[in-house]
C-alpha cells in the first residue's frame, strides 16, 4: 500500500532509494521544507554543512570522482542556486556525475521576480546534462530516478533539479521509481564492428603506435582493459591531466603526461607516431596545441562513448564508439601480440633531456629556496604514492600533476577543463567522505586557497582529515609566469599580500606548520601525515619559479620550451 507523504519526504526517500548516503549543502528559505524532512533522516543521510554553496558543488565533485558514485548537493533558491553554477559548469566539462537539488519559489509565483527567484533551469541547461523543474509532489520520485540515471550513465555529468516550494509541501502517494531507459536518450552507442576491425588493422600494421589515455578510462572502470591492450600490443602511452591515475606511474609503457606542461617525450612523439589511438579523451586545446600542426603524420583512432567528440577538434580516420571497458577488450582480441622495442626506447633520450634541463633542478635542488616540485615529490614519497591527489588550479596544479606518482586508480581530482581556482579545498573535503580509507592530499596556491577559504570551517566542524599543502609564493603564480614569458615581466596585479595562514589555521582549530627550508621539509611532512584529522602545511617556495617544460599558447606540441 502506498504511503501518503510530503514532496520533501518523497525527495529524502527517493535519494535513499538511489543509494545516497552522503550529501553536501546549505539551507535557506525555499528549500526549508526539504531540510526539515532531512532532520528525520540524519541516521541514513549524512548531510555535510558547507560554508558556501560553491563549496557544496565542488565537494560533491570530489566525492564523485574518488568514489565513482553520484555526488549530491542540496541548496536553496536564488543566490544559493547560482552559487553552484561554477561547480555545475566544472562538472559538465570534466564529466563528473553530480545531482544539484535547489529550492525554488512556489509555482504560483514563478515569473513574478519573487524573493530569491532565478530561472535556474534556463541558466543551467547549457552546462548540464539535464535540468528540470519539479512543480508537483507526484513528480519527485520520477524526477530523482531520471536525474541519477542521466548523471551516471554514458558520459557522466551534472543534473539539476529545481524543486518548487509547493511541490515540497504537497502530499503524494509515494512509490519509489527505478529507471534504466529513457526514450531518445542513448547513453552508450553501438560499436561498429567494421570500425573496430579497421582500428585493429591500423594498429597491427603500425611501427610507431602511441596511445593517449584520458579520464574516460577511469570513468568507464577500464583500467585493467587498458593495461591488457597496451601490454599485448606493446604500445607506449601518454596520459591527460585527468587520466593520470588510469595506469600506474611506474608502468614501463607509461611515458608521462600530455599537454602544455606535460612531459617532453609524449608531446614530441605525438608528432612522430604513425598511429595515434585516443581513448576516452576529447583532444582538449591544452593537449593538442596548434591543431594545424597536430599529429598530421599519423592515422588517428578515436575511442569514445560520446559521438559529439568525434571530429569535433581533430579529424580522425577511425571512430570506435562505445563503452571503452567493452571496446578495449574487443580491440585487444583483434590486435596481434607485438614488440615495439626500438620505438619505446626512443622516448629515453627525451626523458633524459627533460631530467637534465628541468626535473633535476626542480625536484633535487642543492641550494636556494624550496621548489614546488620537490615539495610535491616529497609528499608523494611519504605516502608511498598511494594517496589521493587533489589540486587547486595554477602552478600548484601543474607541479602536483607532474611530480606526484600514482599506484591506485581514481587518484587525481583536479579542475581540468574549466580551471576553477578555489576548487581544491572543497573537493578534498568531498574526497575524504568518498574514500575515508585513503589519505587525501590537496595542493594549492595562496590565490586558490583564499577563493574558498571559508571551507576551513567545514573541515573544522567535520574534522575532515584533509592534508593541505599550501605552496605559498606570494604571487598568482601561473598568471605571473605568463606575464614573465609573454608580457615583458609586467606583473600586473599578480603579487599577493598574504595573511598569516598559521593564525588562520589556528582560528579554525586546524594543526599547522610553516616550513621555509628543505632541511625541515621531511619532518614537517611526517608531522602532517602522522597527525589525526586535518593539517595545513605551508611551504614557502621560490617566488618566481616556473612550470617547465611548456608549449606556448597556440604552439606546436613537439616544440616545448625547456627554459623560461
Q: Walk along the chain (564 residues) and give the pLDDT tens digit of each residue.
A: 689 999 999 999 999 999 999 999 999 999 999 999 999 999 999 999 999 999 999 999 999 999 999 999 999 999 999 999 999 999 999 999 999 999 999 999 999 999 999 999 999 999 999 999 999 999 999 999 999 999 999 999 999 999 999 999 999 999 999 999 999 999 999 999 999 999 999 999 999 999 999 999 999 999 999 999 999 999 999 999 999 999 999 999 999 999 999 999 999 999 999 999 999 999 999 999 999 999 999 999 999 999 999 999 999 999 999 999 999 999 999 999 999 999 999 999 999 999 999 999 999 998 999 999 999 999 999 999 999 999 999 999 999 999 999 999 999 999 999 999 999 999 999 999 999 999 999 999 999 999 999 999 999 999 999 999 999 999 999 999 999 999 999 999 999 999 999 999 999 999 999 999 999 999 999 999 999 999 999 999 999 999 999 999 989 999 999 998
Residue from 136, 135, 126, 58 nearest 98 by CA: 58
Please, are residues 524 and 360 in contact by the beta-carbon 8 Å criterion?
A: no
- What is the model's pLDDT at position 564? 82
Q: What is the CA radius of gyration of the chain?
A: 24
In the chain, the largest separation of any two C-alpha atoms, in whole Å, equals 75
3 state DSSP class of 71: strand
CA distance 340 to 353: 22
- Cell 584529522 appears where? 533
CA distance 289 to 419: 17
- What is the model's pLDDT at position 1? 65
List helix spans (H) across 179-290.
Answer: 193-205, 216-219, 223-233, 264-270, 285-288
Specify the DSSP class assigned to residue 175.
-
Residue from 57, 149, 41 nearest 102 by CA: 57
CA distance 469 to 462: 19
Beta strands in 335-399 (DSSP E): 388-391
pTM: 0.97
- Cell 526539504 appears where? 34
- Cell 609503457 appears where? 253
CA distance 301 to 212: 10
Give Cα 97 to chain centroid, integer Å: 11
Residue from 208, 210, 216, 180 nearest 95 by CA: 216
- What is the model's pLDDT at position 126? 98
- What is the model's pLDDT at position 2? 82
Amino acid at each position: 500500500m502506498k504511503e501518503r507523504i510530503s514532496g520533501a519526504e518523497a525527495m529524502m526517500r527517493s535519494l535513499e532509494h538511489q543509494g545516497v548516503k552522503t550529501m553536501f549543502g546549505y539551507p535557506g528559505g525555499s528549500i526549508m521544507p526539504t531540510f526539515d524532512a532531512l532532520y528525520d533522516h540524519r541516521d541514513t543521510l549524512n548531510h555535510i554543512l558547507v560554508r558556501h554553496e560553491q563549496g557544496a558543488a565542488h565537494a560533491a565533485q570530489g566525492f564523485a570522482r574518488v568514489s565513482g558514485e553520484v555526488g549530491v548537493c542540496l541548496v536553496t533558491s536564488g543566490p544559493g542556486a547560482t552559487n553552484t553554477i561554477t561547480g555545475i559548469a566544472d562538472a559538465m566539462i570534466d564529466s563528473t556525475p553530480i545531482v544539484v537539488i535547489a529550492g525554488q519559489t512556489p509555482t504560483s509565483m514563478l515569473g513574478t521576480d519573487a524573493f530569491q527567484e532565478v530561472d535556474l533551469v534556463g541558466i543551467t541547461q547549457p552546462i548540464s546534462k539535464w535540468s528540470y523543474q519539479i512543480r508537483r509532489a507526484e513528480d519527485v520520485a520520477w524526477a530523482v530516478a531520471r536525474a541519477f540515471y542521466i548523471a551516471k550513465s554514458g558520459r557522466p555529468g551534472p543534473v539539476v533539479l529545481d524543486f518548487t516550494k509547493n511541490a515540497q509541501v504537497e502530499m503524494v502517494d509515494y512509490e519509489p521509481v527505478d529507471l534504466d531507459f529513457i526514450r531518445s536518450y542513448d547513453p552508450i552507442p553501438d560499436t561498429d564492428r567494421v570500425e573496430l576491425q579497421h582500428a585493429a588493422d591500423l594498429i597491427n600494421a603500425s611501427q610507431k603506435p602511441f596511445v593517449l589515455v584520458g579520464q574516460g578510462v577511469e570513468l568507464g572502470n577500464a583500467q585493467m582493459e587498458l593495461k591488457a591492450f597496451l601490454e599485448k600490443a606493446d604500445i607506449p602511452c601518454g596520459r591527460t591531466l585527468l587520466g593520470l591515475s588510469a595506469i600506474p606511474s611506474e608502468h614501463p609503457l607509461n611515458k608521462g603526461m600530455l599537454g602544455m606542461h606535460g612531459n617532453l617525450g609524449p608531446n614530441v612523439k605525438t608528432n612522430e607516431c604513425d598511429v595515434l589511438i585516443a581513448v576516452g579523451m576529447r583532444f582538449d586545446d591544452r593537449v593538442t596545441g596548434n591543431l594545424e600542426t597536430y599529429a598530421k603524420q599519423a592515422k588517428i583512432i578515436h575511442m569514445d562513448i560520446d559521438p559529439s567528440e568525434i571530429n569535433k577538434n581533430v579529424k580522425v580516420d577511425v571512430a570506435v564508439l562505445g563503452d571503452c571497458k567493452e571496446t578495449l577488450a574487443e580491440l585487444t582480441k583483434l590486435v596481434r601480440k607485438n614488440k615495439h622495442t626500438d620505438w619505446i626506447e626512443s622516448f629515453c633520450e627525451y626523458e633524459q633531456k627533460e631530467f637534465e634541463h628541468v626535473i633535476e633542478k626542480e625536484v633535487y635542488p642543492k641550494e636556494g629556496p624550496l621548489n614546488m616540485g620537490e615539495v610535491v615529490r616529497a609528499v608523494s614519497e611519504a605516502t608511498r604514492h598511494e594517496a589521493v591527489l587533489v589540486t587547486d588550479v595554477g602552478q600548484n596544479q601543474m607541479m602536483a600533476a607532474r611530480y606526484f606518482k600514482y599506484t591506485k586508480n581514481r587518484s587525481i581530482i583536479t579542475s581540468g577543463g574549466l580551471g576553477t581556482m578555489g576548487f581544491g579545498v572543497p573537493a578534498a573535503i568531498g574526497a575524504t567522505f568518498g574514500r575515508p580509507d585513503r589519505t587525501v592530499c590537496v595542493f594549492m596556491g595562496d590565490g586558490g586557497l583564499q577563493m574558498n577559504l571559508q571551507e576551513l570551517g567545514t573541515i573544522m566542524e567535520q574534522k575532515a582529515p584533509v592534508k593541505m599543502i599550501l605552496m605559498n609564493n606570494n604571487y598568482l603564480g601561473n598568471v605571473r609566469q605568463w606575464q614573465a614569458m609573454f608580457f615583458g615581466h609586467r606583473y600586473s596585479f599578480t603579487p599577493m599580500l598574504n595573511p598569516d595562514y598559521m593564525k588562520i589555521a589556528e582560528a579554525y582549530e586546524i594543526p599547522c606548520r610553516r616550513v621555509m627550508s628543505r632541511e625541515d621539509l621531511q619532518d614537517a611532512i611526517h608531522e602532517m601525515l602522522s597527525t589525526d584529522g586535518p593539517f595545513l602545511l605551508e611551504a614557502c617556495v621560490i617566488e618566481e619559479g616556473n612550470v617547465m617544460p611548456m608549449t606556448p599558447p597556440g604552439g606546436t606540441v613537439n616544440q616545448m620550451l625547456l627554459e623560461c
